[in-house]
Structure 1
Amino acid sequence: MGIRNKLFLTFLGTFVVLIVAASGFYFFAFEQSLRKYIDERQQAQVERLADHLGVLYAQRGSWDFLLSDPRVLGRLYWLAGDRNTDTEPGKRDRRDAPRHLTLLTADRRPLIGPPPTQQFSRLVPIRTDNDLVGWLAYPDQEAIRDKLDRRFQERQLNFAGWMALVGLALSLLVSWLLARHLVAPVTALSAHTRKLREGDYQTRLGSRRRDELGDLIRHVDSLGERLDQGQKARQRWFSDIAHELRTPLSVLQGELEAVVDGVRPLNHETIAALESEVRQLTHLVSDLHDLALADAGNLRYHFTALDLDTLCEDAVDAVRPAFGRRRIRLRTDLSPARVNGDPVRLRQLLDNLLQNSLKYTDEGGEVHLTLGRDGDDWRLTLNDSAPGVPDDALPKLFDHLYRVESSRNRQTGGAGLGLAIARRIVEAHGGTMEADHSPLGGLRITVRLPL
């Protein structure tokens, strides 16, 4: 059974239970109110009749006027409010009198009417001034319920029945509309996720709903957007890898073909050029391998306590000659810093950062490396001089194979994997890495590592 049918039956069952409960309560309340109404009306009629009889007794002096003509009692009761017959009192039989009333003497002896039974509920006194001259006895309201009372009850019961039928019809309609309203976005989500499973990441549902289903739709749309971005990034990743691998392979193939064709002699200079391309290709493959391991969380780390400032000095000393050849001034400001980390990976981090500045800083520029405490972290900052990085390129610097220049000129830099690997290393050490504009006019890389 589908969720729509389940919701429909759930809503319908709930509404039916509520209708039955409301109808039962209404019927119970109506019965109680009707009983009370009949009791009060009967009592008022009998009390009015007792007042009339008291006046007539005072005028006649005895009950002989009733004993000689019992029809008078019926006429008086009719005038007091009794309408339990379609025949007017003047047209009744002379012996016609209220069959449910009993006239008693002052000492409660039956005078007119049926003998009183144990079922009567009340005695109403008949008085003349302050003298008690008799009693009127009447049975419970079930025995005196007249035709008007029954007609009123029947009309109310019919109304309650029609109300229950209309409520049932409305319950069917509302249950169907509610089930459809609630299931419609679920059905749309099911179709949309089926498209996502098939690889269609372009479609968006869109929703203005402000409930949980609206949040779910927006989350699924966000998931589709992320999947679309991931697919495009994966395609770009494969394209960039193919491009980066194709370049050294093409150079190697060209050099070898030139040697085979005799265009270029096989000497030390040719072998050195081939070895340089092989070394570049090996470095690229190694970086790709490290990045793949880092993305999968399989890059091995051996954490130990070490002096980060000493590691920075070693890395700076290793690249200082290369900076000198490009006339780039390299300054350091390193405070003693004891951290828990992998010395090999942290050295790789420092080498990647320094090599990035070496490749992209103009000759005659400046690079400044600082290390100090910042709250609960060690902050390592690398600032270099021009050229700078556009604002829109800052968030992309840590992407795979991303380089600011679009020409893919290999002479101006590497494959664009150094910063991506560096960020994975920092994250593995529980730190963060950010890029921003440098006050020297170039790029500033900030690394924060926990104490």
Structure 2
Amino acid sequence: MGIRNKLFVIFLSTFLVLTLAASGFYYLSFLRSLETYLDERQQAQVERLADHLGLLYQQRGGWQFLMDDPRQLKRLYRLAGDRDEDRDSRGDHRHLQLLDAQKQRLFGPTAPRKFRSEIPVRSGNTTVGYLTYPDQEAIRDKLDQRFMGRQLRFMGWMLFVGVVLSLLVSWLLARHLVAPILALSNHTRDLQEGHYSARLETRRRDELGTLTEQVNQLAQRLDQGQQARQRWFSDIAHELRTPVAILQGELEAISDGIRPLSPEFIKSLEGEVAQLTHLINDLHDLALADGGNLRYRFHREDLADLLGEVVDSYRNSFSQQSISLETRIPDLAVIDMDPVRIRQLLDNLLQNSLKYTASGGTLSLSLTHTGDNWELLLEDSAPGVPDEALPRLFDHLYRVESSRNRRTGGAGLGLAICQRIVEAHGGTIGAEHSPLGGVRIRITLPGETS
């Protein structure tokens, strides 16, 4: 049984039970209220009749006037407040019984004591007799039965309307609730088949609407992931094709005797192989980092000491490029880190600045403590990058098509690897425009002041 049918049965059963319970309660309440009303009404009429009889008894000096003409009781009963001709035609007064002061029957039908009520008739302060009348259950006649029959038919129609409405409302509710679920089922089937561009439209503001939005977000992530994966494979193929094509061309030139085999030529081939090896190693590290398999060995180490050591190893390279290197490093900066990976991080950042900073420029490097974190800033001079390129600098194989890419040194994996290393250390990394005209890399790592 599908979920729509299950919901339909559940709603229908619930509405039917509520309708039957409400109808039964209404019917029983009506019967009790009707019986109470009739009893109270008859009691009030008999009490008024008893008052009239008490006055007549005092005026006539006894009950002989009723004994001589019993029809007076009917007139007195009407005088007591019965204005219903149907009730007159039924002769409800004929159920009355008049007793004397000793409760001996004077006239009227005998009713069992179990089903009768007694109203005293007083003349002054003296009880001179009793009027008795039976309960409504004992005197219910065909007119009462017809009235009850009409009520039962009304209850039947009300029950029928309730069942029809229950069917209609149950079907509408089941359809309303299941429609988005079916839409979600079809949409997830499309996602399973690889159609990630489809989206569901919904105006619901309930849990199903939230679920629909989440599925749309999932589809968007899958679509972005598929596009990124396609770009990733395309970029990898492109990056590998260039050095391989160069090697192939050079080797074919040697084989055809176009170029002689010389030490300079061999050195050029070694450079291409080194670049290809570096690219493969970067791809391997990035794949391990993305899969969470890049190993880290954390220790309490001095970041300031490691930073100073790495910077010193690059001073000569920056000096050869006529790039001024300015540093502001504290004496001590203890953090939990993997020294090998942090060195790899610093190497990638410094090599990136060395490649893309124009000759005669400046690289400023500072390490400061802010709050519970250490903040590392690397700021280089022109050339810079466009605004739209800043958030993409850490994407796989992304390189800015501008003056910062005028040299072909690197595949655009260094900053992506840097981001994985920083995140593994519980920190953050971001790119901004540098006041010096280039790019500012801001890194925060959790650590102590001493």
Q: Do the two structures share a fold, i.e. TM-score over 0.5?
A: yes
Q: Which residue of 2 aligns with 1:93?
A: none
From 271, 284, 287, the equivalent of 1:276 is 271
Task: Tell me if structure 1 keeps the 8 A contact 2:431–2:442.
Answer: yes
From 375, 380, 383, the equivalent of 1:379 is 375
Deviates more, 1:436-445 or 1:305-314: 305-314
Task: Tell me if structure 2 keeps the 8 A contact 1:388–1:443.
Answer: yes
Q: Secondary structure at the match of 1:9?
A: helix
Deviation per residue, 1:376-430 (Å, 9 max, x gap): 1111111111111222111111110001117996724310000001111111112
Partners of 2:38 and 2:275 lie apart in 1 by 108
Q: Secondary structure at the match of 2:103?
A: coil
Task: Tell me if structure 1 keeps the 8 A contact 2:384–2:404.
Answer: no
Q: Which residue of 2 aligns with 1:165?
A: 160
Q: Secondary structure at the match of 2:358?
A: coil
Deviation per residue, 1:161-215 (Å, 9 max, x gap): 2112111111111011001000000000000000001000000002111111111
Q: Which residue of 2 aligns with 1:205?
A: 200
Q: TM-score, normalised by structure 2?
A: 0.93
Task: Tell me if structure 2 keeps the 8 A contact 1:435–1:445.
Answer: yes
Letter of the structure 1 residue corresponding to residue 364 of structure 2: H
Q: Secondary structure at the match of 2:228?
A: helix
Pairwise mapping of residues 134-145 of structure 1 onto structure 2 (< 5 A)? Answer: 134-145=129-140
Partners of 2:86 and 2:222 lie apart in 1 by 86
Q: Please tell me whether residue 419 in structure 1 is matched to residue 415 in structure 2.
A: yes
Pairwise mapping of residues 227-238 of structure 1 onto structure 2 (< 5 A)? Answer: 227-238=222-233
Task: Tell me if structure 1 keeps the 8 A contact 2:310–2:343.
Answer: yes
Deviation per residue, 1:112-168 (Å, 9 max, x gap): 013353224422233445554322111222113355444433332322221121111
Post-superposition shift, 1:341? 1.6
Q: 1:407 to 1:197 in 2, by over 3 A?
A: farther
Partners of 1:98 and 1:304 lie apart in 2 by 109
The number of residues matched between the two structures is 445
Post-superposition shift, 1:280? 0.5
Q: Which residue of 2 aligns with 1:68?
A: 68
Task: Tell me if structure 1 keeps the 8 A contact 2:399–2:405.
Answer: no
Q: Which residue of 2 aligns with 1:315?
A: 310
Letter of the structure 2 residue corresponding to residue 355 of structure 1: Q
Q: Please tell me whether residue 341 in structure 1 is matched to residue 337 in structure 2.
A: yes
Q: Please tell me whether residue 240 in structure 1 is matched to residue 251 in structure 2.
A: no
Task: Tell me if structure 2 keeps the 8 A contact 1:328–1:363.
Answer: yes
Q: Please tell me whether residue 27 in structure 1 is matched to residue 27 in structure 2.
A: yes
Partners of 1:265 and 1:250 lie apart in 2 by 19
Pairwise mapping of residues 287-302 of structure 1 onto structure 2 (< 5 A)? Answer: 287-302=282-297
Partners of 2:4 and 2:264 lie apart in 1 by 78
Runs of 5+ consecutive residues of structure 2 not aligned to the other structure: none
Post-superposition shift, 1:71? 3.1
Q: Which residue of 1 aligns with 2:44?
A: 44
Q: TM-score, normalised by structure 1?
A: 0.93
Partners of 1:359 and 1:133 lie apart in 2 by 129
Q: Which residue of 2 aligns with 1:353?
A: 349
Q: 1:41 to 1:145 in 2, by over 3 A?
A: farther
Deviation per residue, 1:42-73 (Å, 9 max, x gap): 11221233234334434543323332333332
Partners of 1:194 and 1:407 lie apart in 2 by 47
Partners of 2:234 and 2:406 lie apart in 1 by 16
Task: Tell me if structure 1 keeps the 8 A contact 2:398–2:412.
Answer: yes
Aligned-residue CA RMSD (Å): 2.3
Q: Please tell me whether residue 184 in structure 1 is matched to residue 179 in structure 2.
A: yes
Partners of 2:105 and 2:297 lie apart in 1 by 116
Post-superposition shift, 1:240? 0.3
Q: Which residue of 1 aligns with 2:210?
A: 215
Q: 1:324 to 1:85 in 2, by over 3 A?
A: closer
Partners of 1:86 and 1:42 lie apart in 2 by 11
Deviation per residue, 1:281-306 (Å, 9 max, x gap): 01000110111011111112222232
Q: Which residue of 1 aligns with 2:150?
A: 155
Q: 1:197 to 1:410 in 2, by over 3 A?
A: farther
Q: Secondary structure at the match of 2:407?
A: helix
Partners of 2:434 and 2:97 lie apart in 1 by 114
Letter of the structure 2 residue corresponding to residue 100 of structure 1: H
Task: Tell me if structure 2 keeps the 8 A contact 1:45–1:82.
Answer: no
Pairwise mapping of residues 429-444 of structure 1 onto structure 2 (< 5 A)? Answer: 429-444=425-440
Task: Tell me if structure 2 keeps the 8 A contact 1:431–1:449.
Answer: yes
Partners of 1:32 and 1:116 lie apart in 2 by 23
Q: Which residue of 2 aligns with 1:324?
A: 319
Task: Tell me if structure 2 keeps the 8 A contact 1:369–1:382.
Answer: yes
Q: Please tell me whether residue 104 in structure 1 is matched to residue 110 in structure 2.
A: no
Deviation per residue, 1:236-275 (Å, 9 max, x gap): 0000000000000111111111111121111111111111
Post-superposition shift, 1:11? 0.9
Partners of 1:140 and 1:392 lie apart in 2 by 94
Runs of 5+ consecutive residues of structure 1 not aligned to the other structure: 90-95
Task: Tell me if structure 2 keeps the 8 A contact 1:120–1:137.
Answer: no
Q: 1:408 to 1:195 in 2, by over 3 A?
A: farther
Q: Secondary structure at the match of 1:380?
A: strand
Q: 1:283 to 1:121 in 2, by over 3 A?
A: same
Task: Tell me if structure 2 keeps the 8 A contact 1:84–1:147.
Answer: no
Q: 1:329 to 1:402 in 2, by over 3 A?
A: same
Letter of the structure 2 residue corresponding to residue 269 of structure 1: E
Post-superposition shift, 1:319? 1.9
